[in-house]
Amino acid sequence: MSAEAALLKKYKEYVDRSTTKYLNAKLIPGFFILLYFIYSDIWLIGESTAAYTRIFPVLLAGFLIVFNSLKKDYYSLRAGLYNLLLASLPVMMYAKCLIHLEAPDFAGHVTGLVVVIFLVSIDIRTRLYTTILIYLLPAVIFLFILLFFFEPTIEQLTDLSNVIPILVLGFIANRTQNKFRYDLFRTNIQLEKQKTRAEGLLEEMQATNRKLNYTNSELEESEDQLRKVLVTKEKFFSIIAHDLKSPFNALQGFADMLIMEDPAKEPGKFREYAESIRQASYKLYSLTENLLNWSRSQIGEIETQTETLDAAEIIKDAVDTMAIQARSKNISIQYHSEEKLGFTADRETILLVLRNLISNSIKYSDRGSRINIDARQMEDKVLISVSDNGTGIPEENMDKLFSLEKSLSIRGTSGESGTGLGLVLCKTFVEMNGGRIWAESSEGEGSTFYTELPGA
């Protein structure tokens, strides 16, 4: 067995154990919620047909509660049954949508389907091909039945189209979460090995230490390097412990609200909660992307592919990506570039730099304001500036902007949190492309970030 295969086997055992840990704490409330929905369907609403869709999840949840109480091993079997239960929940909601296709509150049932798909995507832990099967098979069967056995209206199809983005986002969130979990697991294994190796090296160093005489300058230099490593490590784990936890808490909180609310009574609240979940998932994805890119840059896994890029095109791509975030605060983004202005850089890393800079401007700008992006030729360089009229940066904080060692976290105009990691990543990637980045700002008047890159 290869080292990678052995690691994957260990990882599966770890996932199975973590899935089944405190499993009844999730199953018992879910079991009674499903029982209540069956009671509501039959005796309160009078829709016994809808109650049939909940029978399999209820039976499976009840069996799992008993089995989980009696058997403390069989981790793989219990995890597999729990994943089957999670997979049955979207199937239940697809069936309810078919049953209520002609109902006046059909859009509310679609919202329920969207919420269930997203909640399942957060919790399900399995291999890639199994995840694809869980996502696609129920949707394909539902679409086949809908088109060949029913005659949906354009309005109904429009309501159902809202499921597509949540399928995509849920799948991305699930795979990102699983990749992050696997990376952390692999890192922990590597750290354990390094710890064992380090203990052996420590013994050798203690023996060698008696033979070596370090000068004061060498000791000071080693101490300074160690301090930088510790600060970087503390910042990294601080981001993981606090900033990753916040969007997860938001997702869980709003998900709990969605479960407790009655969609037939207050469908507007469901849309509000779903929007909050979407915003939290955007924030989670952005933060995770920055963390992964930063960690990859630290271990040298990112390789740049320099090519000639059109300034107007690259800026437009970045602006289009950030359009949803800008619209959430009613902020307009104006950009201008000299005609046929080209520069040489790696496309993906520069796009990430521009997205981070635009995201920062949105975060620290007031609602209804404007952001200006300008690109112009400066001798043999191309200068791209991102300007806003937001809160600005105090003078004493300017030297902390691009440093991970000096902590700087300022909340945005709508209470958005910040880690400072995005600007550190911008500096790393700009310098990787042979350029430089700096900022000018006045507190209360706004900020301008400049990125200078080699001209084409």
Of 85, 130, 257, 244, give the one whose Cα is nearest residue 177.
244
- CA distance linking residue 145 with residue 176, whole number of Å: 31
SS3 262: coil
Domain boundary among 181, 198, 229: 181
Identify the DSSP state of 455.
Answer: B
Whether the per-residue pLDDT at 451 is higher than 90: the answer is yes
pLDDT at residue 405, as a whole number: 64
Asked if residues 392 and 354 have their Cβ atoms less than 8 Å apart, the reply is no
pLDDT at residue 242, as a whole number: 47
Mean pLDDT (whole number) for 339-343 = 87
Q: Identify the pLDDT of residue 407.
A: 58
Domain boundary among 165, 181, 197: 181
Q: Which domain holds residue 368?
A: 306-454
In which band, very low, low, confident or very high, does the pLDDT at 112 lie, cut at 50, 70 and 90? confident
How far is residue 141 CA from its own chain's centroid?
29
Has residue 282 been placed in a domain? no
In a domain? residue 192: no
In a domain, residue 253? The reply is: no
- What is the maximum alpha-carbon separation in the chain? 87
Query: Which has more confidence, 240 or 191?
Result: 191
- The mean of the pLDDT values for the chain is 80
310 plus 177 within the same structural domain? no
For residue 193, which amino acid is it?
K
Return the pLDDT at 251.
59
Classify residue 399: in a domain, yes or no: yes
The reply to whether 119 falls in a domain is yes
Locate 115 and state its tokens: 């919420």
- The verdict on 167 and 34 lying in the same domain is yes
More confident residue, 288 or 103: 103
403 burial level (CB within 10 Å; 0-12, 13-18, 19+): middle
Domain annotation covers residue 346:
yes
Last residue of a domain, one of 181, 204, 238: 181
User: Would the pLDDT of 243 be above 70?
Assistant: no
What CATH code is carried by the domain that includes residue 331?
3.30.565.10
Determine phi and psi for 96, rounding to 5 degrees.
Answer: -65, -35
**In the structure, what pLDDT confidence band is assigned to residue 436 with cuts at 50, 70 and 90?**
very high
Angle subtended at Cα 451 by Cα 445 and Cα 456, rounded to the nearest 5 degrees: 145
Which tens digit of pLDDT belongs to each residue from 282-310?
Answer: 556 665 766 666 666 665 666 778 899 99
* Count of structural domains within the chain: 2
In a domain, 410, yes or no: yes
pLDDT in tens, 157-188: 888 888 888 888 888 888 888 888 888 888 88
Residue 230 is assigned to a structural domain of this protein: no
The predicted pLDDT at position 80 comes to 84
Q: What is the pTM of this model?
A: 0.44
In this model, does residue 246 exceed pLDDT 60?
A: no
**What is the structure's pLDDT at 128?**
81
pLDDT in tens, 384-412: 999 999 888 888 888 888 876 665 667 78
